[in-house]
Amino acid sequence: MGGAPVLPGGTESRENGRPDLTRTGDGGSRLGAALRGKLARSLRESPAEVTIMPVRKGFAVWEGPFREGKGTVKVESGLFEGPYSASSRFESGQGTNPEELIGAAHAGCFSMALALGLGLKGTPPRKIETTAEVKIEKVGQGFKITSIVLRTVGDVPGLSEEGFLAAAKAAKEGCPVSQALAATDISLYAELKK
């Protein structure tokens, strides 16, 4: 395939040689028909800006047995590298852990999706602050991320509380990280700054 990226929840069906970015695939999560349609029109009007999306990489090295071992995680850009261990993951030891990295990725993705949706509605945000609380629990013989709570506060001039809540819900459903974590219960608490 190749060509233009497909919007979250969309399919790459082509008409007149251009992707139809307004269709939905399996009826799953999506930005919302109005926002998707508006974004699709803007992409059609300036197709030179559409490119193939890059593949991002994260790296991890683990040394030693589970309890006594330790590792390092880093991102491809080189902007983050940190140690992790069983203690930093399941207790309060020094270092990072996969859950807080997932939380940072989810908060970042959601905030970008919300900014996109608000901008497409003609109410771009001044600021969006989001925290993602990622909960890991023992389930059966192993561990599972059982829930993520997104807490967001937006400073959006000219937007009603109802409009902000609708945009936040659409962003939660359309955010690519939310879609990747669809097997996890994700809740949202959104507040418009007054």
Residue 11: what pLDDT? 40
Mean pLDDT confidence for 92-112:
96
- What's the confidence (pLDDT) of residue 87? 95
**Per-residue confidence (pLDDT) for residue 25, from 0 to 100:** 39
Backbone φ, ψ for residue 41 (5° rounding): -60, -40
What mean pLDDT comes out for the span 93-106? 96
CATH number at residue 179: 3.30.300.20
Q: What is the mean pLDDT of residues 58-87?
A: 96
Number of domains forming the structure of the chain: 3
Q: Write down the pLDDT at residue 72.
A: 97
Domain extent, residue 77, equals: 58-96
Q: Could you tell me if 109 and 193 lie in one domain? A: yes
Q: Which pLDDT does position 34 carry in this prediction? A: 54
Question: Residue 95 class from Cβ within 10 Å (0-12 exposed, 13-18 middle, 19+ buried)?
Answer: middle
User: In the prediction, which pLDDT does 50 show?
Assistant: 55
- Which of 96, 116, 147 finishes a domain? 96
- Residues 109, 176, single domain; the answer is yes
Q: What is the mean pLDDT of the chain?
A: 82
Judge whether residue 16 has pLDDT over 90.
no
In tens, the pLDDT along 156-192 reads 999 999 999 999 999 999 999 999 999 999 999 999 9
Query: How many of the other CB atoms lie within 10 Å of CB of 8?
Result: 22
**Residue corresponding to tokens 């007054």:** 194
Query: Are both 192 and 109 inside the same structural domain?
Result: yes
Whether residue 44 sits in one domain with residue 12: yes
Two tokens at 134?
Answer: 């990622």
Query: Is residue 61 over pLDDT 50?
Result: yes
Residues 135 and 188 in one domain: yes
pLDDT the model gives residue 53: 85
Per-residue pLDDT at 51 = 73
Residue 1 has pLDDT above 50, yes or no: no
Say whether both 80 and 146 belong to one domain.
no
Q: How far apart are CA 118 and CA 46, in angstroms?
A: 20
What is the per-residue pLDDT for 26? Answer: 39
Domain match, 133 and 183 both: yes
Same domain membership, residue 82 and residue 15? no
For the record, the structure tokens of 50 come out as 């559409």
pTM of the model: 0.74
